[in-house]
Amino acid sequence: MTNYQITNYQSGLLEKQEEITQKVTKDWTSFPQLSIKQLRKNYSRPDFDPELLKYCFLDDELIGYIISKIKFDFLNSRLIGQIQFPIVLPGHEQAVPLLYEEVIKTLKKKKANIIETRASEAWGKTIEYTKKFGYTFKKLLSAELRANLQEMDIEEPGLPFEEFSISKDGSQFIKKLIDFWGIQEEEAKAYLDYLDHIEDRIISLPAYFEEGIIVTHGAVYRTKNNPRGAFVFVSLPGSDKQFKALIAKIARVAKNNGADYLITQLDDLDIKLLERFQAEGFSLEARINLYEKKLV
């Protein structure tokens, strides 16, 4: 077997880590990839544990990594380890079980009781890994839909959309999210914070207002690891007419920005929008599932 070396996180390798991620996941859709700026921020936090990020080297060259974290499940009074299956360069598949076993050892040492991971048909071999490492299906996390911009009948939006301002419109936006989705204030604020965190990737935050009140809101952003796609959020869908106009606005913005297709993910909260997206030309591409495994 090739002589791979597994280590904990080392500083100075974030650019190489991002390069590997982009190369491996270039054809994956809706795979979450943080920017270098966000990675640096996360890894400089006081609560960051370098033992939970494992690097794999061959002849001093980084060829892959595995990310994990631990959260406390207050409801069941237990520690849950959450992992992302190994990301390794092509030709180094032998490193996958090595990285996986090392991070599991660490999670056991830190007293994790359960391991959770996400997997999708659209994310390389992740479904295969759930079987290989003995995970069981827990629940559907989200459904992924896609629309080809070349095939969409993109009409004029028909409504006067404005660009949403986080600083100016954020307070009423949070209240609208709480009312429409039935979520807690903390969740609504976290979503607004997320939009702020990915500001460097957002190309538009279209919003429709009636008498100064936000009615419809969406987001469209691009990522380096998916140069042909544009990702879509619909935060406030409004009426069928307003939803249709919002998708038309987003499609125009994305097409003008060079995208070939739109991608959206619907989770267990907004899955009720599935038929509305399909009515606008989106087709179901893949499902992202949560899997779990007990540690013994």
Q: What is the pLDDT of residue 1?
A: 56
Helix (H, G, I), strand (E, B) or coil at 166: helix
Report the first-to-last Cα separation within the chain, whole angstroms.
Answer: 28
In tens, the pLDDT along 72-98 reads 999 889 999 999 999 999 999 999 999
Q: Is the pLDDT of residue 283 over 60?
A: yes
Output the average pLDDT for the chain: 93
Phi, psi of 79 (to 5 degrees): -95, 130
* Lowest-confidence pick of 8-22, 141-155, 237-251: 141-155
| CA 39 vs CA 13, 42, 195, 245: distances in Å | 11, 5, 16, 35
- Alpha-carbon Rg for the chain, nearest whole angstrom, is 21
* Burial category of 13 from C-beta neighbours within 10 Å (exposed 0-12, middle 13-18, buried 19 and up): middle
> Which domains does the chain show, CATH number per domain?
5-134 (3.40.630.30), 145-287 (3.40.630.30)
Q: Are 278 and 245 in contact (CB under 8 A)?
A: no
Q: What is the pLDDT of residue 271?
A: 87
**Predicted confidence band at 257 (pLDDT cuts at 50, 70, 90)?**
very high
232 has which bridge partners? 220, 264
> Rounded to whole angstroms, how far apart are CA atoms 89 and 72?
32
Residue whose pair of structure tokens reads 């995970």 in the numeric block = 135
Q: Which 8-state DSSP code applies to residue 51?
A: G
Amino acid identity, position 36: I
In tens, the pLDDT along 178-190 reads 999 999 999 999 9
Task: Look at 34 and 208; give whichever has higher pLDDT.
Answer: 208
Model-level pTM? Answer: 0.68
Q: Are 75 and 95 in contact (CB under 8 A)?
A: no
Residue whose pair of structure tokens reads 């992302």 in the numeric block = 84
Q: Is the pLDDT of residue 269 over 90?
A: no
Q: Is the pLDDT of residue 225 over 80?
A: no
